[in-house]
Amino acid sequence: MTRRTLIAGNWKMNTRRDSAAALAKGVVDGLSDSTDVEVVLCPPSVYLAAVEECVVGTHVALGGQNLCAEGDGAFTGEVNAAMLTDIGCGYVILGHSERRQLFGETDADVSKKLHAALAGNLIPIVCVGETQQQRETGETEQVVREQVKGSLAGLDEARAAGIVIAYEPVWAIGTGLTATPEQAEAVHAFIRKLLAEDFGEDVAGQIRLQYGGSVKPANAKELLGQENIDGALVGGASLKAEDFLQIIAAA
Ligand code: PEP
């Protein structure tokens, strides 16, 4: 089963309009025409339009960092799937550990968002991953199992193949610590086994699994070389076009 490599940059709450446009242009201009890697930029929502102008008609796709599962209406401060699609997004990150930890998002919330994303023709990138303490107490598989099953609740086989799951150990996000390729591969293989339980081997074999957690030019090649690692969700290193391009090249 060949799965197209997907490298996504999560800019989080960084950049301003000018630096967002400059970063997007840097990625677009530096990307080889012959790359078969799928590349997605996820800027802050207020800069989606500015980045869209830079990536429209190129190989680079646009993604949101979150969405509200509701339709239009009285939801002050929120942005829904229809709005993300309207502005040119093809992807959306869901259930990032920062959303789970800082904004109290639960697996049930993520599942609602997943269905809203799919209904809005967005490819969801669903994030899961254990904390340092959970890893140390041997709970990694249990936590990841709960997050995968809970976040994907109600998903049918027909739609499952098109989703993306990002395994992001919380202890490796923004810390400079990276899971070893062996640690990451072990959890990715476990996630694929979980997916096979619910959707069958064939569909599970089509679902792309990204690794996230301090991916950098120096470690990207080895991580992306693992059998079940089909891409990367990149935070800090996606804020420098040169570093992000090197990660894409490593893929
Ligand atoms: C992330 O936030 O998704 C992430 C992986 O961040 P970093 O690459 O900075 O660890």
Specify the pTM.
Answer: 0.98
pLDDT in tens, the chain (251 residues): 689 999 999 999 999 999 999 999 999 999 988 889 999 999 999 999 999 999 999 999 999 999 999 999 999 999 999 999 999 999 999 999 999 999 999 999 999 999 999 999 999 999 999 999 999 999 999 999 999 999 999 999 999 999 999 999 999 998 888 999 999 999 999 999 999 999 999 999 999 999 999 999 999 999 999 999 999 999 999 999 999 999 999 99
- Indicate if the alpha-carbon torsion angle 183, 185, 186, 190 is positive or negative: positive
CATH topology of domain 6-250: TIM Barrel (3.20.20)
CA 172 to chain centre: 15
Q: Annotated catalytic sites, by residue? A: 96, 168
- Using CA positions, which residue lies closest to atom 6 of ligand 1? 235
Residue indicated by tokens 């990149």 = 234
- The alpha carbon of 72 and the centre of ligand 1 are apart by a number of angstroms equal to 30
CA 250/CA 82 separation, integer angstroms: 34
- What spacing in Å lies between the alpha carbon of 199 and ligand 1's midpoint? 28
Structure tokens at 133: 């303490």
If residue 210 lies in a helix (H) or strand (E), which one and from where to where? strand 208-212
Q: Which residues are within 8 A (CB) of 38 and not within 5 positions of it... i.e. 6 or more apart?
A: 4, 5, 6, 7, 61, 231
Gap between the Cα atoms of 18 and 140, Å rounded: 40
d(CA 178, CA 130): 13
The residues pairing with 9 across neighbouring beta strands, listed in sequence order, are 41, 234
Is 233 in contact with 129 (CB distance < 8 Å)? no
For the chain, the structural domain boundaries read: 6-250
Number of H helices, E strands in the chain: 11, 8
Distance, CA of 244 to CA of 250 (rounded, Å): 10
Q: Which residues line ligand 1 at a C-beta cut-off of 6 Å?
A: 10, 168, 173-174, 212-215, 233-237
- Pocket test residue of 41, 128, 170, 233 for ligand 1, highest count of atoms within 8 A of CB: 233
DSSP-H helix ranges across the chain: 17-30, 48-55, 81-86, 97-102, 107-119, 132-136, 140-151, 157-160, 181-204, 217-224, 241-250
DSSP 9: E
Question: Could you tell me the distance, in angstroms and rounded to a whole number, from the CA of residue 185 to the centre of ligand 1?
Answer: 17
